[in-house]
Every structure is written in structure tokens, then in C-alpha cells.
Amino acid sequence: MPLAQASLGLVSAVRGPVVDVVFPETLPPIETVLEVEWDGDHPLTLEVHGHLDERTVRAIAFQSTSGLARGVRVNATLAPLMVPVGEAVLGRLLDVTGTPRDGGEPFPEDTQRHPIHGAPPAFDRAETGVSVFETGIKVIDLLLPLSRGGKAAMFGGAGVGKTVLVMELIHAMVEKYQGISIFAGVGERSREGHEMLSDMTASGVIARTALIYGQMNEPPGARWRVPLTALAIAEDFRDRSHRNVLLMMDNVFRFVQAGGEVSGLLGRLPSRVGYQPTLASEVAALEERIASVAGAAVTAIQAVYVPADDFTDPAVTALSAHMDSSIVLSRSLAAEGFYPAVDPLESSSLLLDPDVVGTEHYEIANQVRAVLARFRDLQDIISLLGTEELSAADRKTVARARRLKRFLTQPFAVTEGFTGTPGRSVSREETLAGCKAILAGETDDWAESSLYMIGTLEEARDKEKAAA
């Protein structure tokens, strides 16, 4: 990084990832970068987060400070963190500072760079039109349509399939839209990053994807700023190249969690449930930058871990306020083997509107919701007395609801190596046709298993014929 107008300081205190630096003259501004001149086995970059007095700043480290001593020289760059952007980052795995971590060649000196901090696009540049982003996943396209250029979140506890769903959506984006994908791995396991890099390389989609990781074993400063690094790369493709970008984040809760750690390290008093007092403003500063401008869109799909399956958690509610579509993953559905384990009654989408998706789609989706809601209401009676005690109309509703639940499952391309079943991508028209047929009673005499883990209704019809 160029050290234009650099001023020199000295480390005065080290408390884990928090480093105090004394400068003899002018203090560097907040959110600018400091570079440590030390003999450690890796470069050490700090970001200024507070002015303690007229001579001392408090900074957060992006790498481990193990071995750092007082009196070490520090250069103030007087500029925010600048990360490489453009075509050079495609096919690469980067850390929070934009340094390649995939064993490949370093970036050339003349690589275009962009600051990680920025403002949302002005309102007069924003694109106001709404268009549906088709994923090929039946339950999402039918009940929870995603917006091209919008924000969608997948809420779920541990082990219900958030990461698998994110990877399938990346696969769908590359296959269907031939767009750019930016993946931000925030506070996730090192194993998951290695697996994703291997899978993308093997499937040939890595050439149009950039991976940015701040993993679980890294300091909180790195995990806190990784989404901003990914966003800077996405904004460059949107504004300079005018290309559509799919921005994936797994897991945004870890961004909030890292912000809470940084807040505590800086000595701020915690707010409710122990979260940082700046929770709402930090989430807003990230989410408001995810926007579309005329001619190019950034579509964001974010996985959100729900601690202890508590959807009233302040971090979960702060994130959900910014979303166009909220996809809730259910532990009970996952336990029953319904994948993707999307709860159609708890999830919601602003795009499920007749003016956006059309009257037929809207009516079929509402009928599916009504049948599934009635089935849920009858669950207690069925558990106690069985279906025989229900009225004829309710028995018919239960039979169709059970078939709808099975029809809305499907195998994924990214799980083919584990299940041996090839993935299915289903168009919205085929999904609507299948649900319409089930609601009309065309499948009432079919075995429920014929509708489980399939693509289109024709595939179920073939299974039924083969069984007969």
C-alpha cells in the first residue's frame, strides 16, 4: 500500500487485538489504516477506531498480534483500507486486506484498488423497477420470490442447511445468469472455505467468482470488516463495469458478533442482551450499501445464524428489518427429511404481490399457504385421534398438504456427491403447474413418495407409473 503523507508512531500498549499507538504530531483519522514495521512472520495491519488523547489512537488489528512489543514503529497511511477490485480478483480467494490466500501469485502493483468504506448510492441513481430473480428452487420461487437487486436472508439455527442453500444459489446464479458471484465467508470454519474453493474449482464456476474469507480463527477486526471488503469488490463491478453481481454472505450474524467483540475491546458499555450499542447503525451501514443502480444490480443473499433458535434476538431482528425476502429454515422440517427445510408459513417476501409475480402465481401461492396452514392447525387433532376423526373436507386437505410438502422438496446439485441423486432446477412455470395439479386433486390417488425429492410433476408421474 502506498504510504503517501505517512507519519510515524510507536506502539504504546498491546491488549490482544487492541493496539494503542502514540504519534508525536497529527493523529491519523478514524477508519484509516496503520502498518506495523515489525519482524513477525506476517504483515500486521491496524485500523484506527478511537482517539484516546491528543497523542494516542486506539486501533484494532486485522491479524494476530502475537509477538508485538511496545516501541515498535507504526506507519500511518492516512487512507482507509484499499483492496484489489476488478477482473483480477475473479477466481481468487482473498483475506480481509485483499491479500491472496489460495497459494497463487500476488496481485500486480498496478491492480485497481477501492476503499472498503463508502456511502450508499444516491437516491437519484437507484433503480426503482422490481424484477424477480428465479433460482430454480421450487419453494423459494413459488412462495418467497427473490428480487433482482434486492436483499434476502436465510434465518436458521445450526445444522438446518443454510450453507448448502447458499451454495445452491451460487450454482443457480452461475448456471442461469452468467453473472459475477462474490462470496464473503464471515466467521465460518476453515474447512468450509477449503471445501467451497475445491467444489467451485471442480465445477468450473470459480472463474466468475471471488471468495473473501475472515474465518473463525481470525481476530474480530478481520471478521468485522470482511463483508465490507466483499462489498467494495461488488460495488466496483456494479459501478465501473456495469455488471450484475450476486453477493453471498455466510454468516452475517458473525459480522454482528465480531462487532460486539470489537465494541467490548474498545471499552464501550454493552446494550441489550450484551450486544454493542451501535448494533443498528453498523447493520444499516452495511445493508444500505447493497443497492442497484440503473443498468446494474447487486443481489444479496445472506445466511443468518439464529442463536438458540430465538427469532426475537436483537441481531436477528436488526437484520430482518432490511430484507425484501426472509427465508426461515425449520429444524423440525429438517428432522423429518424435508430439504430445503424452508418453513413456508414463517417465511415472507415483499415480492409475492400480483403486480409483481402475476395474478395466477399470487393465487396459487395463497392457496398453497392456506392448505399448509390448515394442515398445521389440524396437527394436534391428528396426533391425538388420527385422520379418521376428521371431516371428509379436512381429510382431503391433509392429503393434499402432505403431497404439497413433498413436492416442494428437491435434490440439489451441490449435494449430489453425498446423496448420489442429480440436482434439479425447476422453472417457475413448472412449479406453478405442479402445485395447481396437486391442489386440483390430480395426485390424490398417487403415493406420497412419488412426489418426494423430485423436480417437475412429470418426474413424479413417471415414478408413479414405474411403481404401478
Catalytic residues: 162, 188-189
Q: How far from chain centre, in Å, is Cα 233?
A: 15
Cell of 81: 483500507
Residue carrying C-alpha cell 445444522: 159
Instruction: Tell me how far apart the alpha carbons of residues 395 and 397 are, in angstroms, rounded to a whole number.
Output: 5
Instruction: Tell me how far apart the alpha carbons of residues 209 and 177 are, in angstroms, rounded to a whole number.
Output: 13
Instruction: Tell me how far apart the alpha carbons of residues 31 and 370 are, in angstroms, rounded to a whole number.
Output: 51
Strands of 180-186's sheet in order across: 93-94, 209-214, 180-186, 245-250, 298-305, 151-156, 325-328, 348-349
Instruction: Tell me how far apart the alpha carbons of residues 229 and 276 are, in angstroms, rounded to a whole number.
Output: 22
Helix, strand or coil, per DSSP, at residue 217: coil
Instruction: Tell me how far apart the alpha carbons of residues 280 and 99 are, in angstroms, rounded to a whole number.
Output: 30
Spatial contact of 459 and 416, defined as CB atoms under 8 Å apart? no
Instruction: Tell me how far apart the alpha carbons of residues 15 and 4 are, in angstroms, rounded to a whole number.
Output: 29
Q: Which of 173, 226, 229 is nearest to 203 (CA)?
A: 173
Q: Which of 319, 334, 324 is nearest to 299 (CA)?
A: 324
Q: Enumerate the β-bridge partners of residue 44.
A: 36
In sequence order, the 6+-apart residues with CB closer than 8 A to the CB of 129 are: none
| Strands 180-186 vs 245-250: parallel, antiparallel or unpaired | parallel
409 CB burial (10 A radius; 0-12, 13-18, 19+): buried
Alpha-helical regions (H) of 204-312: 220-239, 252-265, 279-287
How many C-beta neighbours within 10 Å does residue 69 have? 9
Cell of 323: 430484507
Instruction: Tell me how far apart the alpha carbons of residues 184 and 198 are, in angstroms, rounded to a whole number.
Output: 16
Helix, strand or coil, per DSSP, at residue 15: strand
In sequence order, the 6+-apart residues with CB closer than 8 A to the CB of 172 are: 135, 136, 137, 425
Alpha-helical regions (H) of 144-246: 162-177, 190-203, 220-239
Number of residues written out for the chain: 468
- Taking CA atoms, 96 is separated from 278, 367, 389, 400, 415, in Å, by 22, 46, 60, 49, 29
